[in-house]
Amino acid sequence: MSNPKLKLAAQYLRNADLEELSQTLNSLLPLLLERLTPRERLGFLKIVLQNHLEDFLAGVSPSEREKLLKALLPTLLKEFPLDKIDFLSLFA
């Protein structure tokens, strides 16, 4: 890690507690999203999920994963209405 800004950010992340991390993310994420186009936001989200979802879920039991999915489903269904999705094309 040769970038001084990246080193500083990494040091902060190692030392911050969960509340500080949450506040930081809630403050910085809107700044990131406002500079990305809708296409870039989708690409960014796709990369984060594809590259790190497994990391987020590491060590999480199947029952906890189920609870998480149940908690997220209302939001997912709001953003991805089932009547607008062609399920057959998802598996083609």
Q: Sign of dihedral through CA atoms 85, 90, 91, 92?
A: positive
Assign 74 a pLDDT band (cuts: 50, 70, 90).
Answer: very high
Mean pLDDT for 65-85 is 92
pLDDT at 54: 97
Q: What is the pLDDT of residues 2-17, one digit of tens each?
A: 789 999 999 999 999 9
Whether 62 and 69 have beta carbons less than 8 Å apart is answered as: no
> Which of the residue ranges 11-15, 51-55, 86-90 would you say has the lowest mean pLDDT?
86-90
